[in-house]
């Protein structure tokens, strides 16, 4: 699959359900040509002590299975 914000957004439903169960969500902000996705954490995810783990294991790793060219996720305020 081609790495675009639209393609990523189309595959976020399972991740969003997981985040929503704890009162959170994510917003896609930007995607660089070299495969860095910028997101904004919403709701309880913003202040959760485990949000870095959630980004790595709950968002980045599942998306990398679909989009191997996705290199990293950066969280913006």
pLDDT tens digits for range 31-54 = 999 999 999 999 998 888 888 999
CA distance 62 to 77: 23
Query: Are residues 57 and 73 in contact, defined by beta-carbon separation less than 8 angstroms?
Result: no
Which whole-number Å values give the CA distances from 17 to 2, 20, 33, in the listed order? 23, 5, 28
Look up the CATH number of the domain holding residue 25.
Answer: 3.30.300.130
Does residue 1 carry a pLDDT above 80?
A: no
Range of the domain at 44: 5-75
Give the H/E segment covering residue 65.
Answer: helix 61-66
Does residue 25 carry a pLDDT above 90?
A: yes
What total number of domains does the chain contain? 1
CA distance 71 to 16: 20
Average pLDDT over residues 3-15: 92
């Amino acid at each position: 699959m081609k790495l675009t914000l639209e393609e990523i957004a189309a595959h976020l439903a399972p991740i969003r359900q997981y985040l929503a169960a704890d009162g959170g969500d994510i917003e896609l902000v930007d995607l660089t040509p070299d495969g860095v996705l910028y997101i904004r954490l919403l709701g309880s995810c913003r202040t959760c002590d485990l949000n870095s783990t959630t980004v790595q294991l709950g968002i980045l790793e599942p998306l990398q299975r679909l989009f191997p060219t996705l290199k990293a996720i950066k969280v913006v305020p």
